[in-house]
């Protein structure tokens, strides 16, 4: 006689299987949510550390610029407002270096605290008027900045390793739960599939964020190296030659004049670099003002060319032809022309021609030279910030801000900067709103700025 089957057995078996599936799904959701929360917390911690790393990495050039402004202010070359703004920037660096609630390793905490103490010390020296002490401290700030950057980068690497392990653990749990639930209920299988896609999307987003942070870190390192190099050269020359003038009583008048000329040239170079950096920052923050007025572009071009050595340096061959009157900002036009002429002098040929003309409602300034031009592979990126032409890999790259700032300023004034290459001639053309023919007869020539 066959055993009698209990009517409730299939239902009980289904309930048990359903309960197992529910428990598996619950375990999946719990493990996934807990692991994801941990990853998010670590990602937030990593982001805060990356912010401190960025501040530490940019501390040396900021300190150098602040000290340079303080020296200029002490010499009467910078205003009180510039000195106050520089001091505010230095105080902001000290505030940004405070770790706050960010959990750092003991080594990183010590390194950041040491760097912050150096910055506060430089600020105190400037407050007391001890510019010499501030300069000496600024010259040695690179070591503490590198130590702080390296120790926090080590903390970030440890977080990355932990996040990778957490991601792997979550992946194992997801795979096991998917295998179990997929054979129980199609609906649960579909749910797991959706969660798998969601997880993959999060993983890809996390990977993309890491790649973006890596690219940003590389860009910052390149910028910091370039900025440190560009500022250190004139700063070192200024300090060295100034000390030479101070300590050498046996120098003749001719030698003193030569040292003074070098100091002035390096001060101008540092000032122009700071002007480019400040303009780039104000353009990025949309904090630039324009005062449009009629400008005689020929007089302006000749004045800018003379400021770059035209008529003084024998090898500098610049020819200015034509005429045009534009309605634009006096200082910004001078800035753009300086950038375009500097680009031609440093990267172009030995013959530079500045041609001025009026094309409809546009006043045009064409800066052309017989140099090699820009490689085809770099044309699409030459107006991007921090893009430079080919340089020796062993050398520090220049900042690459000139063409980017030139185009941005031109567009801010309602114009543009365009590039062309034909017949062995490289041409950068500045276009600006022209003063109309109806306005010219009634415009007082003395009111047209040069």
Reported as a single tens digit per residue, the pLDDT across 336-351 is 998 899 889 888 888 9
- Print the domain residue range for 218: 11-229
User: Within a domain: residue 282?
Assistant: no
Confidence band of 356 (pLDDT split at 50, 70, 90) = very high
214, 229, 244: which is the final residue of a domain? Answer: 229
Domain match, 111 and 224 both? yes
Query: Average pLDDT of the chain?
Result: 75
User: Within a domain: residue 254?
Assistant: no
Domain match, 32 and 140 both? yes
* pLDDT given at position 27: 57
User: Within a domain: residue 6?
Assistant: no
Domain match, 174 and 41 both? yes
Per-residue pLDDT tens for 210-221?
Answer: 876 776 566 556
CATH number at residue 427: 3.30.565.10
State how many domains the chain has.
2
User: Within a domain: residue 381?
Assistant: yes
Domain match, 205 and 302 both? no
Strand partners, 325: 296
Domain match, 181 and 94 both? yes
Domain match, 162 and 18 both? yes
Per-residue pLDDT tens for 371-424?
Answer: 888 888 887 877 776 555 444 443 333 445 678 888 988 998 999 999 999 999
* pLDDT given at position 426: 92
pLDDT of residue 296 exceeding 90, the answer is yes
User: Within a domain: residue 354?
Assistant: yes
* pLDDT given at position 199: 77
Round to whole Å and give the CA distance between 62 and 112: 16
């Amino acid at each position: 006689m066959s055993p009698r089957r209990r009517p409730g057995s299939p239902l009980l078996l289904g309930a048990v299987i359903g309960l197992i599936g529910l428990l598996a799904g619950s375990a999946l959701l719990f493990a996934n949510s807990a692991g994801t929360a941990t990853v998010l917390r670590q990602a937030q911690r990593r982001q805060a550390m990356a912010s401190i790393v960025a501040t530490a990495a940019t501390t040396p050039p900021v300190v150098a610029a602040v000290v340079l402004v303080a020296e200029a202010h002490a010499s009467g070359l910078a205003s009180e407002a510039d000195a106050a703004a520089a001091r505010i920037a230095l105080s902001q660096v000290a505030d940004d270096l405070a770790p706050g609630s960010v959990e750092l390793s003991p080594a990183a905490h010590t390194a950041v605290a040491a760097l912050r103490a150096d910055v506060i010390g430089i600020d105190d020296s400037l407050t007391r008027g001890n510019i010499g002490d501030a300069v000496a401290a600024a010259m040695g700030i690179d070591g503490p900045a590198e130590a702080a950057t390296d120790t926090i980068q080590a903390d970030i690497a440890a977080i990355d390793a932990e996040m990778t392990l957490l991601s792997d653990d979550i992946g194992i749990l997801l795979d096991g739960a998917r295998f179990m639930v997929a054979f129980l209920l199609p609906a649960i299988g579909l749910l797991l599939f959706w969660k798998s896609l969601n997880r993959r999307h999060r993983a890809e987003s996390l990977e993309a964020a890491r790649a973006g942070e890596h690219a940003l870190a590389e860009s910052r390192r390149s910028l910091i190296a370039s900025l440190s190099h560009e500022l250190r050269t004139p700063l070192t020359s200024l300090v060295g030659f100034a000390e030479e003038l101070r300590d050498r009583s046996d120098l003749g008048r001719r030698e003193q004049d030569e040292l003074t000329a070098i100091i002035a040239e390096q001060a101008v170079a540092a000032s122009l670099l700071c002007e480019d950096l400040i303009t780039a920052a104000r353009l990025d923050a949309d904090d630039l003002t324009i005062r449009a007025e009629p400008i005689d572009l020929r007089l302006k071009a000749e004045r800018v060319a003379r400021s770059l050595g035209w008529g003084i340096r024998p090898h500098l061959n610049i020819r200015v032809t034509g005429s045009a009157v534009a309605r634009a900002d006096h200082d910004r036009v001078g800035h753009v022309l300086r950038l375009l002429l500097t680009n031609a002098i440093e990267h172009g040929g030995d013959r530079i021609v500045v041609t001025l003309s009026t094309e409809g409602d546009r006043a045009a300034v064409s800066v052309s030279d017989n140099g090699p031009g820009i490689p085809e592979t770099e044309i699409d990126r030459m107006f991007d910030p921090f893009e430079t032409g080919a340089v020796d890999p062993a050398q520090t790259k220049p900042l690459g801000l000139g063409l980017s700032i030139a185009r941005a300023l031109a567009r801010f004034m309602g114009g543009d900067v365009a590039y062309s290459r034909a017949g062995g001639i490289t041409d950068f053309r500045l276009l600006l709103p022209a003063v109309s023919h109806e306005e010219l007869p009634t415009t007082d020539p003395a009111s047209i700025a040069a």
